[in-house]
Amino acid sequence: MNAACTYLSHLLRPDSRAWRPLLGVYYLTYACDFRCPYCSDGSGTPYYRLRSPVLSAERVLALFGIIRRHCDYLVITGGEPLQHPEYAEILHRLPARRFRGVILTTNGYHLDQALPAVARSVTELVVSLQTMDSTKADLEYGHPGAHQRILANLERAASHPGRKYQIIISSVATPENLADLRGVCQFAGSCGFRLAVCPQLVGVKAHHALENNPDYRGFFNFLIAAKQQGASIQGTVDYLEYLRDLKKFRCRPFTMLVVAPTGEVFYPCLELGHFAGNLLAEPNLHRIRQMGCQRFGSQPDCGTQCHSACALGFARILAKPLSILHEGCLRARTSIMPGGHLSIMQRATGKVAPTRQHP
């Protein structure tokens, strides 16, 4: 079943026994050298503290073959997925699985070494960036010089010969960085990158200091206005309004398939953290849903939580289908801020080489 038919099945004929994901999300590894303060799984534990074996390239590719039977689109994430010891082989052989779209999320630090493999297999390259202030960023990362290296790697990625992937800057809105994010937004627009922003989650809930925060609301109003004027901002306007207001929404977890590094399937979602079965042992996803229901019960009615890209995004396009048409109209007229001859590093630092003056 292709993505359009899957969407219609969720919209018109939801089936409590079937699991028909629009998107597969695979945690290639939980390992990461960075120590970002906003990093958190559904229990509030930073990913770099989670311990899990990783699969060999052969087993990962076998797992991708199973995931491909169930959905057209794949997200490869972590941790930092480029710290998997065999990521290059995995990405090199991934096109044979024939996903319609492959999204890779990365902090960008090791991207220079990975670009040939990324260019072969990835359709959307998502790089995390929270500020244009290198000193502040390096303190968060725990790596001196990391921010400048990431910006240099973004330049390499943008200029990679024959690239087919779109570059997306992913930012986490925290109580401390709201002022910085406007600079990130300007940088992304000037480079022709799309910008995706979500609030910092502490466990499953938005950071308490973002609730009723006028600066947080003001920033999302800024994003909404920029999107309506043609800026490339991820998500529908309705979705951005829900992020701004941190409103409760009806979650639709079975629109996604989230898989841990060893192939275990999160039921009904990553945030609740239950494992219903392993896809390598039981490739029938519908049966895994039924096993999860027997062990953990049916989908719970959660509170006001999980304002994340996939959970909220899919929930809102099912609750408000016409928002997809509105999004299509906005994307049709999306404009890219002119960058001229400036490099990404020049746009990031504001340092422009002097031009010769003529009388």
Q: In what order do the strands lie in the sheet with 274-278?
A: 194-199, 166-173, 124-128, 101-106, 73-78, 23-29, 256-259, 264-267, 274-278
- Give this prediction's pTM: 0.92
Q: Do the beta carbons of residue 8 and residue 59 sit within 8 Å?
A: no
Structure tokens at 146: 């990391």
Structure tokens at 211: 């609730």
User: Which helix (DSSP H) or strand (DSSP E) does residue 194 occupy?
Assistant: strand 194-199
pLDDT digits 0-9 by tens, 97-122: 999 999 999 999 999 999 999 999 99
Q: Give the DSSP letter string of 300-323.
A: ----S----HHHHHHHHHHH-THH
pLDDT along the chain (359 residues), means of 10: 88 86 97 92 86 96 98 97 97 97 98 96 98 96 96 97 94 96 96 96 92 97 95 96 95 95 96 94 97 92 84 92 86 54 58 35
pLDDT of res. 259: 98
pLDDT digits 0-9 by tens, 279-326: 999 999 999 999 999 999 988 888 878 888 888 999 999 999 998 888
Give the span between the Cα atoms of 104 and 129, in whole angstroms: 15
Q: Do the beta carbons of residue 116 and residue 43 sit within 8 Å?
A: no
Give the span between the Cα atoms of 284 and 288, in whole angstroms: 7
pLDDT of res. 13: 82
Three-class DSSP labels, 91-139: HHHHHHHCCCEEEEEECCCCHHHHHHHHHHHCCEEEEECCCCCHHHHHH
pLDDT of res. 350: 56
pLDDT of res. 352: 37
Residue entry with tokens 């303060």:
37
Domains in the chain with CATH codes? 3-349 (3.20.20.70)
CA within 13 Å, CB half, 112 = 10
State whether residue 43 is helix, strand or coil. coil
Q: Which residues pair with 27 in a beta bridge?
A: 77
Q: Give the DSSP letter string of 269-295.
A: -TTT-EEEEETTT---HHHHHHHHHHH
pLDDT of res. 335: 47
pLDDT of res. 349: 56
Residue entry with tokens 């959307």:
124
CA within 13 Å, CB half, 24 = 27
Q: Is the dihedral of CA 40, 171, 244, 207 positive or negative?
A: positive
